[in-house]
Amino acid sequence: MEDVDKSLRDHDGKSVLGVYAKQPLPGQVKTRLCPPLSPPEAAGLYQCALQETVTRMQGCEAFELVICYAGEPSWFAEAFPDVQLLPQRGEDLGVRMADSFSQLFQQGYRQVVLIGSDSPDLPLQLVEQAFRKLRQTDVVLAPAEDGGYVLIGKSKFLPELFSAIRWSSAEVLPETLRRIEKLGIKAFLLPGWEDLDDLAALGRLLRRSPQSRTADYLRRQLAQHFPAPR
C-alpha cells in the first residue's frame, strides 16, 4: 500500500473522501471510448477502474470513505460491503455534486473531497495534499487534461461552484476558477492528473502505471486495441 502521511491519521472522523461512481452498465459508462471499445468492453474497464480506485482509497487511514453512487444500491452494497454509500440526487452533475457536499457537511464532516472513478492511479499523496490544504483554504482543485478536474475539495458548502456549468467540456475548470475569483473564495490548485477518456489516455496509463490493476486489465482483456509497435 502507498505511504500515508502520518500527520493526517488524527482526522477525528471529520475528513471524508467521496468516490463518484455509476453502476457499470454497458452503454451508460465511458461512452466516449465507444468506439473503439464496445459498450461491454467499456463497462468492464470502468468496473475495473472503480474497483481499483475504491480499494486503494479504502486502505488509507487519513480519511473516511463513501461511494456517491448512481444505479442500483444493491449492486454497490454487494460490490463494496464495507463502504458507506450515498445516493447521487439531481438531474445534472452539478446538482448531484452540490447535494453530495451538502449531505456530507450535514453529517458533520469538516473537509469533503470528491474524486471520480476513472483515475485509478490517482496518487494518494495528491489526495492527502488536498485534505492538508483544506485546513487553511476553502476549495482545492486538481486539474484534468481535458479542461475539467479530477478532484474537488471544500471546507465549506459553496454551491455556487456547480450551477450552470457546461459539464464534460473544456470550460469546466476555467469557469470554476472564474467564479472562485469573482466570489473571493480562498482556493488552491493542486497538481493535475488524468481521466481515462480516450484510447490515448489508456495508453498513457499503461506506460505511467504498468503495475496497476487497470493496466493489467487493459493488457489482458483489451490488448487488441493496443497493437505492439513494429
Note if the bond before 40 is cis, omega within 30 degrees. Answer: no
Cross-strand bridge partners of residue 85: 67
Q: Is residue 88 a contact partner of residue 70, using CB atoms and an 8 Å limit?
A: yes
Q: Is 69's pLDDT higher than 90? A: yes
pLDDT digits (tens, 9 = 90+) for 172-212: 999 999 999 999 999 999 999 999 999 999 999 999 999 99
pLDDT digits (tens, 9 = 90+) for 138-173: 999 999 988 899 999 999 999 999 988 888 888 999
User: At 227, is the secondary structure helix, strand, or coil?
Assistant: coil
Domains and their CATH numbers in the chain: 9-222 (3.90.550.10)
pTM (2 decimals)? 0.92
* Chain position carrying cell 473564495: 185
